[in-house]
């Protein structure tokens, strides 16, 4: 009985967890070593893109969240939805005037 409760508790916790992954580009070029942050409510998960511009972030919660990317000293943000299953978000930075903007593609 205790094992069953422990297993059900673990499933309930993992069901609420969300994960996002994808890549970050500027035009056709992938952005390496950029700071990436996922914010869901009060929870903030920080990471970086790897050498090929890919990222993976896991949050305890799900729902409406934001992804922020810091590039060339500026931070750009886009809204995403985090589900209980991993979600892929391909992100693109675009420069408008002197400001970087972030969008999903």
pLDDT at residue 35, rounded to an integer: 98
pLDDT at residue 2, rounded to an integer: 57
Task: Read off the pLDDT of residues 32-61 as tens digits, 9 standing for 90 and up.
Answer: 999 999 999 999 999 999 999 999 999 998
pLDDT at residue 16, rounded to an integer: 52
Beta strands 91-96 and 63-71 are unpaired
pTM of the model: 0.82
Per-residue buried b or exposed e for 47-86, using 16+ beta carbons within 10 Å of the residue's own CB? eebeeebebebebeebeebebbbebeeeebeeebebeeee
| Average pLDDT estimate for 19-27 | 97
What's the DSSP call for residue 60?
S
pLDDT at residue 66, rounded to an integer: 97
Task: Report the C-alpha gap between 90 and 54 in whole angstroms.
Answer: 9
Q: How confident is the model at residue 17 (pLDDT cuts 50, 70, 90)?
A: confident
Topology, domain 2-104: Immunoglobulin-like (2.60.40)
pLDDT at residue 13, rounded to an integer: 46
Closest CA to 59 of 35, 77, 83, 79: 83
């Amino acid at each position: 009985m205790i094992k069953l409760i422990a297993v059900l508790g673990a499933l309930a916790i993992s069901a609420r967890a969300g994960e996002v992954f994808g890549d970050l580009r500027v035009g056709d070029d992938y952005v390496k070593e950029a700071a990436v942050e996922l914010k869901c409510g009060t929870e903030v998960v920080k990471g970086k893109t790897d050498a090929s511009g890919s990222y993976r972030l896991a949050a305890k919660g799900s729902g409406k969240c934001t992804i922020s990317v810091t590039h060339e000293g500026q931070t750009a943000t886009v809204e995403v939805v985090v589900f209980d299953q991993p979600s892929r978000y391909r992100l693109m930075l675009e420069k408008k005037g002197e400001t970087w903007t972030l969008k999903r593609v």
